[in-house]
Amino acid sequence: MYAILFDIDGTLLQSGGAGCAAFVETFRAVFQLNEFPEGICFAGRSDRAIAQEIMQRSKIEPSPANWQRFFEDYCGRLEKSLKVCEGTVLPGVVELLDALEEDSHTAVGLLTGNTHFGAQAKTGVYGLAGRFAFGGYGDQRTDRNAIAVDARLAAEEYVAAASSNGLLCGAMVIGDTPADVRCGRAIDAFVVAVATGGSSREELADCQPDLLLEDLTDTGDLLAEVSAAQRRCSQLVSQS
Ligand SMILES: [Mg+2]
């Protein structure tokens, strides 16, 4: 089987700033932080890394206990924030997921800096619940490349249980930031960059993804690569 690993924010959907708003509100409520540090970059990073940077810049100890305090409050605030912020599923996403779902040789999962809870909440609100069988998340990781390794391992475990030969032949990573491209490289994946998030087409081109798309409406080349990867996969299996 071949694994397709999707980033969430800026790739599958835009949450209308719900995550950022929930971060600001949580820090205000739990840590009495009234002046949220300026210029915090949310794109392409793990929630834990973002929280850690905010803590460091605000003289809050970035300890596991403080992460836990943050996380417990953040979950409820994110759910509320997702209901009031106006976001959208990005163009072509549902059609691509439908096409991949019909393909029994493909395993579809998440590779996201969101926490597991945040990933479920965001995909759930936007009607994408149940579309992803496994994932790598940002709960315990500050390094996106480590999340990619988690996602790849989760894909291997899923495929071992779900497919007849139990073999994962390769992976594709689809994301909207240079960090997605780099983490895809870290696990030897075929990397698709899509310019529907915070990064421009030029910024993404500089990272040299294997495929660069304006959005996910025209996925002919992407699906052709999935088919080619599956052919390589069946050759490998038949030779073994
Ligand atoms: Mg993203």
DSSP letters, 81-92, are HHHHS--EEPTT
Q: Measure 237 CA to ligand 1 centroid, in angstroms.
A: 34
Q: Which two tokens stand for residue 51?
A: 């929280």
pLDDT at 93: 98
Residue 188 has pLDDT above 80, yes or no: yes
Q: What is the CATH number of domain 2-14+88-239?
A: 3.40.50.1000
| C-alpha distance across the termini of the chain, in Å | 15
Q: Which of 214, 232, 125, 107 is nearest to 162 (CA)?
A: 107
Q: Measure 5 CA to ligand 1 centroid, in angstroms.
A: 12
Whether the CB-CB separation of 104 and 5 falls below 8 Å is answered with no
At 95, which helix (H) or strand (E)?
A: helix 93-101
Rounded to a whole number of angstroms, the CA Rg of the chain reads 18
Whether the CB-CB separation of 176 and 112 falls below 8 Å is answered with no
pLDDT, one tens digit per residue, over 68-99 is 999 999 999 999 999 999 999 999 999 999 99
Q: Measure 239 CA to ligand 1 centroid, in angstroms.
A: 38
Name 5's Cβ contacts closer than 8 Å, sequence gap at least 6: 109, 110, 111, 135, 136, 148, 151, 152, 155, 171, 172, 173, 174, 184, 189
What average pLDDT does range 1-13 have in this prediction? 96
Q: Measure 25 CA to ligand 1 centroid, in angstroms.
A: 21
Q: Measure 114 CA to ligand 1 centroid, in angstroms.
A: 9
Q: Measure 65 CA to ligand 1 centroid, in angstroms.
A: 27
Beta-bridge partner residues of 174: 6, 192
Residue 209 has pLDDT above 80, yes or no: yes
Residue the block writes with tokens 């990619």 = 148
pLDDT at 2: 93
Q: Among residues of the chain, what percentage have pLDDT more than 70?
A: 100
pLDDT at 234: 82
What average pLDDT does range 130-150 have in this prediction? 95
φ/ψ (deg, to 5) at 23: -60, -50
Give the SS3 label for residue 230.
helix
Whether the CB-CB separation of 161 and 136 falls below 8 Å is answered with no
Q: Measure 211 CA to ligand 1 centroid, in angstroms.
A: 16
Whether the CB-CB separation of 138 and 70 falls below 8 Å is answered with no
Q: Which two tokens stand for residue 91?
A: 């163009």
pLDDT, one tens digit per residue, over 221-235 is 999 999 999 888 888
